[in-house]
Amino acid sequence: MTEMQQGDQSAILRLKAVSAGYGRRTILNDLSLEVSRGEIFALLGGNGAGKSTTLRVLLGFLKPSAGEVTLAGQDVVADPAAARAHVAYVAENVALYEHLSARENLAYLLTLAGVTAEASRIEGALEAVGLGVAARGQRLSGYSKGMRQKTAIALAVAREVPVLLLDEPTSGLDPRAISEFHDLLDVLRARGTAILMVTHDLLGATQVADRIGFLSEGRLTQVADKSEDRSFDINRLYQAYQTAQPGQVA
Amino acid sequence: MTMLRFEWLLLIRSRLTLAALIVLSVLSIFAVARGLHEVARQNAVIAHLETLQKNDMSDLAKAYGPEGDAGYAAYYSFHHTFDPPSRLAFAALGQRDVLPYNLRVRALGLQAQLYEGDIFNPELALPGRFDLSFVLVYLTPLFLVVLLHDLVSGEAESGRLSLLRAAPKAGIALWLRRAALRSALVFAAVAVPFVAGAVIAQAPVAGVMGGVALIALYVMFWTALCLLTAAFGFGSRINALVLLSQWVILVLVAPTLAHIAISRSVPVPQGVDIVLKHRQLVHGAWEVPKDLTMQRFFHSHPEWKATAPLGKTFEWKWYFAFHHVGDESVAADVATYRGRILQRQALAEGVGYLLPSVGVQAAMERLGDTDIRGYLSYQDQIKTFHTALRRFYYPYIFNKTPFPEPEYAKVPRFEPRSYGGGIGGFYLLTLAALSAGLGGGGVWLMRKRIV
């Protein structure tokens, strides 16, 4: 387990010495983080550790007070709209348009993303996430949370973006849906997508992530790397997670 | 086009939106139908009274023709004056339900006849007029509030706002497109029935275009206000509350306060006061020495001075002279009355530049020629006609020329005034500038806080 994130030339998502907050309240404190192509990075931390703020900074919703943020080499602070072309985001509670079908949702949101909404692209993406053909034309109001999750991921697949940001992706999913979701992330990893996953689910993270970072008071306190720690030592990770919780002493 | 297609799908698949648009369309269609029906009813009343007028004159000619006295003819003959509704009156009935559009006048003193009907009917005023201008000014903003109060907040509350903000090509255009589509549908719900009504009424194209422009600009004004409110980033409930408060202030409270302020600053004597004063003068004339009355009359009408002096018995020329003098005696009161009314109207139109609800209501009534200016124009037409009546009868009365039955056919007939309505381009520009200012502020704030 390393104490800090190492520099990586192949990194496609990069936060370098980033500080950000709301008003006088600093949330991210000199945070550095990199995720490479084909890598899944799980970011864990307690409430208020700065997980969501990290995503907001990466999406260009929040301007950092210091540091550099780049996505596929694009400076997020200088041109957030251009940087967003390289990233897809799936929120914790996946919310798409209930009155539209999965196909229509994808077509609409792809158009908003500036991507041509070709039928083959949409069908291919829905196929890739394993959404049944019969369900694709139904309105989302009849979908389960897992199916919505798949639809949202399908959007990212269809956009063919190099970076995917996931906010608590397994929250509220049943075990089978979680397993299917992990399979889906494997597919995306194999395609070379860099995935940053914000989660509270340590066990799930050990199953799917390549690296797990623990965020506390706006900075990465520890990073566990699967390549170094072949099958993550859950006990050590749990201890690290506990340490990262607010009010705990390392 | 694809983008609009999806926005359209989202709109029509929302039951609330669909219901709101259907209700507004039904209200507009009903208002137009009611306006057309009322216009047709008023035209029918006018036509019916015209028939009665012809019969009346025919009976009068038969009754008093053999006697050949112009005094009887002038005294007993009522002449039908009327103010037919304009072809665009269906959209804004204006003052036509409380102020007379038919008046039968005699060649006697005019002022008492003119203001006799100037009595405000509170029973008619209480429920208001349900016409298209009412739907536009009072109800349309409410429907815009329903459709636009959650423009951004609805997406935030349903958890989609981050997704939309993260979409690279969404930007401000997304919100403008959505607002524009909703507003366009609201506009269509009001404008299409208006145009259909105008086609049925065979209204002039320029007037129809003016009306359409006015509807569009008023919808734009409220859309801009909704955008500005949405840009602050409050929740849907707060937005709805703020927008409804704006509606209450802009449509109900501020116009009422403005009306009170104008009424207090420009007091207008009641028309009935002129009637009473005129009647007192006319009735009092029976007690005034006839020579004195005639001197007063000849002073302003020297052309009749050379006619034969009065005898001891009753003479029509003395009777008509004291009526005429009665009119002249209240001329200053009439001028004050009309001047104050016009002053109030001008002030109300001035307020309309700041309060679009007042301005658009006034503009719609101006377009329909159904406002107070239209009514005063009708009064002017009556006065012109009444003068023509006097000019016709006086030579017979003052020269004691016989007035046999064939002469009745020569009595002047009332010609209605021509359409004097329209919409001022300057007002439309002002409303457009106001809407653009508010909308621009909304876009700027949205770029800063939401996009």
- SS3 assignment, position B175: helix
Is the pLDDT score of B444 beyond 50?
yes
* CB contact A77 to B (< 8 Å): no
Judging contacts by C-beta atoms under 8 Å, the chain A residues touching residue B448 are: none
**Share above pLDDT 70 across residues of chain A, in percent, rounded to a whole number:** 92
Is the pLDDT score of B437 beyond 80?
yes
Q: Return the top range by mean pLDDT from A234-238, B31-35, B159-163.
A: B31-35
Most B CBs within 10 Å: which of A56, A97, A100, as the mutation test of the B interface?
A97
* CB contact B170 to A (< 8 Å): yes
* CB contact A104 to B (< 8 Å): yes
Domains of chain B, by residue range, sit at: 1-451
Judging contacts by C-beta atoms under 8 Å, the chain B residues touching residue A139 are: 13
Nearest CA in chain A to B10: A99
**Would you place residue A5 in the very low, low, confident or very high pLDDT band (cuts 50, 70, 90)?**
very low
pLDDT at B442: 93
Q: Return the top range by mean pLDDT from A23-27, B22-26, B50-54, B329-333.
A: B22-26
Each residue of B273-318: pLDDT tens digit? Answer: 888 888 888 888 888 888 888 888 899 888 888 887 778 888 898 9
Nearest CA in chain A to B177: A112
**Share above pLDDT 70 across residues of chain B, in percent, rounded to a whole number:** 97
Is the pLDDT score of B387 beyond 90?
yes
CB contact under 8 A, A85 and B167: no
Distance (Å) from the C-alpha of residue B153 to the closest C-alpha of chain A? 14
Q: Which of A61, A97, A108 sits opposite B165 (nearest CB)?
A: A61
Distance (Å) from the C-alpha of residue A73 to the closest C-alpha of chain B? 16
**Average confidence (pLDDT) over B410-439:** 92
Q: What is the mean pLDDT of chain A?
A: 85
Judging contacts by C-beta atoms under 8 Å, the chain B residues touching residue A88 are: 166
The helix-helix angle for B331-354 and B254-265 (nearest 10°) equals 150
pLDDT at A31: 92
pTM for the full predicted model: 0.85
Is the pLDDT score of B129 beyond 80?
no
Residues 12-71 of A with CB under 8 A from B: 59, 61
CB contact under 8 A, B168 and A107: no
- SS3 assignment, position A141: helix
**Would you place residue A3 in the very low, low, confident or very high pLDDT band (cuts 50, 70, 90)?**
very low
Judging contacts by C-beta atoms under 8 Å, the chain B residues touching residue A114 are: 167-169
Q: Which of A93, A99, A109 sits opposite B159 (nearest CB)?
A: A93
**Would you place residue B83 in the very low, low, confident or very high pLDDT band (cuts 50, 70, 90)?**
very high
| CB distance A15 to A57 below 8 Å | yes
Single-letter amino acid, residue B197 = G
A223 forms beta bridges with A2, A213
pLDDT at A56: 93
CB contact under 8 A, B162 and A61: yes
Is the pLDDT score of B121 beyond 60?
no
Distance (Å) from the C-alpha of residue A54 to the closest C-alpha of chain B? 14
**Would you place residue A4 in the very low, low, confident or very high pLDDT band (cuts 50, 70, 90)?**
very low
**Average confidence (pLDDT) over B250-270:** 91
| CB distance B163 to B395 below 8 Å | no
Is the pLDDT score of B392 beyond 60?
yes
| CB distance B397 to B70 below 8 Å | yes
**Would you place residue B225 in the very low, low, confident or very high pLDDT band (cuts 50, 70, 90)?**
very high
What is the complex's ipTM, to 2 decimals?
0.79
Place of tokens 């709209």: A81
Report the alpha-carbon distance of residue B272 to residue B376 in Å, rounded: 16
**Average confidence (pLDDT) over B153-178:** 89
Distance (Å) from the C-alpha of residue B217 to the closest C-alpha of chain A? 29
Q: Which of A85, A91, A96 sits opposite B162 (nearest CB)?
A: A91
**Would you place residue A20 in the very low, low, confident or very high pLDDT band (cuts 50, 70, 90)?**
very high
**Average confidence (pLDDT) over B134-150:** 96
CB contact under 8 A, B169 and A97: no
Single-letter amino acid, residue B145 = V
pLDDT at B405: 87
| CB distance A175 to A127 below 8 Å | no
Is the pLDDT score of B59 beyond 70?
yes
With CA atoms as reference, report the closest residue to B405 among B79, B69, B53, B66: B66
The helix-helix angle for B425-449 and B331-354 (nearest 10°) equals 20
Distance (Å) from the C-alpha of residue B355 to the closest C-alpha of chain A? 37
Residues 138-167 of B with CB under 8 A from A: 158-160, 162-167
Judging contacts by C-beta atoms under 8 Å, the chain B residues touching residue A156 are: none
Residue with the larger pLDDT of the pair B97 and B361? B361
Is the pLDDT score of B343 beyond 90?
yes
Most A CBs within 10 Å: which of B157, B169, B450, as the mutation test of the A interface?
B169
A 10 A CB-CB count for B427 gives 20
**Average confidence (pLDDT) over B84-99:** 90
Q: What is the mean pLDDT of chain B?
A: 90
Is the pLDDT score of A1 beyond 80?
no
Could you give the maximum distance between any two Cα atoms of chain B, in Å?
Answer: 102
pLDDT at A2: 47
* CB contact A91 to B (< 8 Å): yes
Each residue of A180-230: pLDDT tens digit? Answer: 888 889 988 998 999 999 998 888 888 899 999 999 888 888 888 887 766
Judging contacts by C-beta atoms under 8 Å, the chain A residues touching residue B450 are: none
Is the pLDDT score of B144 beyond 90?
yes
Is the pLDDT score of B436 beyond 50?
yes
**Strand boundaries in B25-119, DSSP class E:** 79-82, 102-105
**A-B contacts at Cβ under 8 angstroms:** 65
pLDDT at B98: 79
**Average confidence (pLDDT) over A112-131:** 87
CB contact under 8 A, B159 and A94: yes
**Average confidence (pLDDT) over A19-29:** 90
CB contact under 8 A, B169 and A93: no
Residue with the larger pLDDT of the pair A149 and A34? A34
**Average confidence (pLDDT) over A94-111:** 90
CB contact under 8 A, B2 and A109: no
Cβ-Cβ contacts under 8 Å for B326 (sequence gap 6 or more): B109, B111, B112, B278, B281, B282, B285
Is the pLDDT score of A241 beyond 80?
no
pLDDT at A94: 77
CB contact under 8 A, A114 and B3: no
